[in-house]
Amino acid sequence: NEDSLISGSILFFKEAAVYRMNRKHRGHCVIVNNHNFTSLTARLGTHKDAESLKCVFQWLGFTVRVYNNVKKVDLEKALQEYKSHPDHVDRDCFVCCILTHGNLGAVYSSDEALIPIREIMSQFTAQQCPGLAHKPKLFFIQACQGDEIQPSVSIEADALNPEKLPSAPRQVSLQDSIPVEADFLLGLATVPGYVSFRHPEKGSWYIQSLCNHLKDLVPRLEF
C-alpha cells in the first residue's frame, strides 16, 4: 500500500546516506612516518603516533602498513601501488596517515621534496581508483601548514627550522590542497598558516586525540 511504499522509500534513503562499513576486512591503512630528514630537524615522538595509529586501525579491521622515512620517489611508488590495489573492490574504506614536516597545503618527504596534499589525494579519486568509487577515503595529516605560532606550552613543533629551510620552497595554496571530488575526508592537525605541536615522547596532540576518540566512539563489531 501507499504507507508501506513511503516507509520503504524513507528506509532506502536512510541506508543510501550511510557508507557500508560491515565487511570483515575494512580496507587498507597506509601510515607515512617521517622521522629523519636531509637537513630539517628530526621529529621526536613521531614513532609514538605511528604505533598508536597502527594499533587503532588494526583493531578497527584495517590492514595496516607503516612506511618510515619515505623519500619522494618511494612515496610515489607506494601511492601507485595502493592506487591500483585489487583489494579495494572488496573493502569498505581507505585510510592514509602522513606524519611529517609540512608547509601551506603540502607535506615534506624525508628527502625534503614539498608535495601538495592535493597531489597525494588525487591518486584515489573515482576516476583514478575505480575500486574506491563511492567509498570513504580518509586522510589524516600531522604536519605544519605554515610557521606562525599560536600561544602554547614549550614543546617541539612540526614547524620548519628557518635556518634549515631548503632554498626557496614552493608555496602551495590551501585551495590547491583539497580535491573537489566526493567521499574524501581531510583531517589536518592545524589551521592554514600555523604550526602543529608534538611532544617528543608522547606524540602529537592531534594524532593522540584522534586515536583516543576512535577507541572511545567507534563501535567495533566482531565477526
AA letter at 19:
Y
As a whole number of angstroms, the distance between CA 135 and CA 91 comes to: 9
Reported as a single tens digit per residue, the pLDDT across 90-108 is 999 999 999 999 988 899 9
Q: For each successive 10 residues of the chain (223 residues), what is the average pLDDT? A: 46 61 90 96 94 96 97 97 95 96 92 95 94 95 74 53 44 52 86 66 89 84 46
Candidate list 93, 96, 129, 144, residue with the active-site label: 144
User: 117 and 105 in contact (C-beta within 8 Å)?
Assistant: yes
As a whole number of angstroms, the distance between CA 75 and CA 68 comes to: 10
Instruction: Copy the grid coordinates of residue 201.
Output: 615522547
Candidate list 93, 101, 129, 211, residue with the active-site label: 101
- Sheet containing 102-103, strands listed edge to edge, beginning at the edge strand earlier in sequence: 102-103, 106-108, 114-116
Known catalytic membership, residue 144: yes
Residue 106 CB burial class (10 angstroms; 0-12, 13-18, ≥19):
buried
3-state secondary structure string across 55-68:
HHHHHCCEEEEEEE
Known catalytic membership, residue 211: no
Reported as a single tens digit per residue, the pLDDT across 198-211 is 777 788 889 999 99
AA letter at 85:
H
23-217 adopts what CATH topology?
Rossmann fold (3.40.50)
